Amino acid sequence: MTMEQQDKASCSGRHQTPAEQGYDFSEQVGHLLRKAYQRHTAIFQRHCSDSQLTAIQFVTLCTVMERGPSSLTDIVKATDIDPATIRGVIKRLTAREWVTLSADPADQRKVMVKITESGEALVESMIPVAHQITDQTMGKLNPAERIALLHLLEKMNHSES
């Protein structure tokens, strides 16, 4: 849009559309990341051995299995899942008997999360499936593109805000 057209639009009280301002949401990183995440989530749900297990629950189970008994703060730090969300995740995992909760012997105020045998069995059975899910999420990307994508996402996630 020329300066004359912009002036005319602002004088008429009409707001410029995003396209008139050179903005196409479908080309924006947030939109593309959201679409990719929705695709990944759909693939996860399609291939998951338990229809009620979510990707966030799986990441939490993997974290507790790797690290051993963990506080909620430790899980938040390891997964970058916000505290309010992690509390709900732990509540659902406890209800499914995939984790148990106990007080930290060193600090009775601190809640410790421990994976159960059934939780460990679920994680173990899901690992091959998780590899397939990752492979399908990456789709037609060649090996170099896959490495580049992971590197760029890591770099974005560790950038200063």
pTM for the predicted model, two decimal places: 0.81
Give the orientation angle of helix 29-47 with respect to helix 117-138, to 10 degrees.
130
Going from N- to C-terminal start, the domains of the chain cover 28-157
* Residue with tokens 């809640």, as numbered in its chain: 111
CB 86, CB 76: distance < 8 Å: yes
CB 148, CB 93: distance < 8 Å: no
What is the distance between the alpha carbons of residues 61 and 99, in angstroms, rounded to a whole number?
8
Q: Which H or E element spans position 127?
A: helix 117-138
What is the distance between the alpha carbons of residues 29 and 108, in angstroms, rounded to a whole number?
44
CB 57, CB 89: distance < 8 Å: yes
* Torsion, CA 24, CA 31, CA 13, CA 8, rounded to 10: -20
CB 64, CB 106: distance < 8 Å: no
Residue range 28-157, CATH number: 1.10.10.10
What pLDDT score does 2 carry?
63
What pLDDT score does 42 carry?
94
Q: What is the pLDDT along the chain (161 residues), one digit of tens a residue?
A: 566 656 655 566 789 988 888 888 888 899 999 999 999 999 999 999 888 899 999 999 999 999 999 999 999 999 999 999 999 999 999 999 999 999 888 888 889 999 999 999 999 999 999 999 999 999 999 999 999 999 999 999 887 65
